[in-house]
Structure 1
Amino acid sequence: EQATQKNMAGTGIATFSDRARDAVRGGGPFDEDPGVQGFASGLYTDPNSSAANGTPAEQKARLLHYQDLIKVGLSGNLADYTFTDTDGKEVKGSQVDYNGAPAGYAAAPGDALAYADAHDNESLFDALAFK
């Protein structure tokens, strides 16, 4: 069986979770435009000149979604963790979308390694200063 994040849940083997990293920084390490902003890099509140960030309304919607991703990340990416999302609905971590996959996939907190400043060869300082 393929060793995907979802399939590793409950095995005691942790996987890196990019969800919190992408929400905090904005975008991902392989984006065509590295200026895509996130929660900590000023999305909506201090926008930069990157057209990839979208309109103010799109930025606000993405920022609110990033808040939900960060909540799931702080829970250890637990699939069954229940919280009130930014729409005011009670949801499970597994019901929050992360690029077409569930944001919450872990059976236990030790199943996921959340990070914002490791593993992808770019420091958090570098990303935030650029964005």
Structure 2
Amino acid sequence: MLNIDSLEKGIVLDHIRAGSSMKIYDLLHLANLDCCVAVIKNAKSSKFGKKDIIKIEGAVDIDLDILGFIDHDITVNIIDNGKIIEKKQLVLPKVIKNVIRCKNPRCITSVEEEIDHVFHLTDDHTQKYRCIYCEQEYQDK
């Protein structure tokens, strides 16, 4: 049995879809932090079968919009004195900036390197994002 110590102070990202933790690790730039970060992949889950977990030690600020875009079912637990003091609920962000890229070759973001890649949520029910410059719908694949 693998044992990862509990946190005294920090953040635990729980119920991450199995196999998605490294994408989150990269998008949140966790490698740049000067603290302990534990990535647990394929942990047993009674609810999902398997899940990933990320534990971040210390007082850090993470972008909840990125997490909400990737998977708004992720549980964000804020830990202090070894106890969960707050659980944050994620929602699909209305706007995401520099998380995904527009794939339209005629979009200004393809020509101008310094322009931010900004997408807006068109409809909460369909959960589709469109580029604010060319209206190209974001396709994951």
TM-score of the two chains, using structure 2 as the length reference: 0.24
TM-score of the two chains, using structure 1 as the length reference: 0.25
Structure index of larger Rg: 2
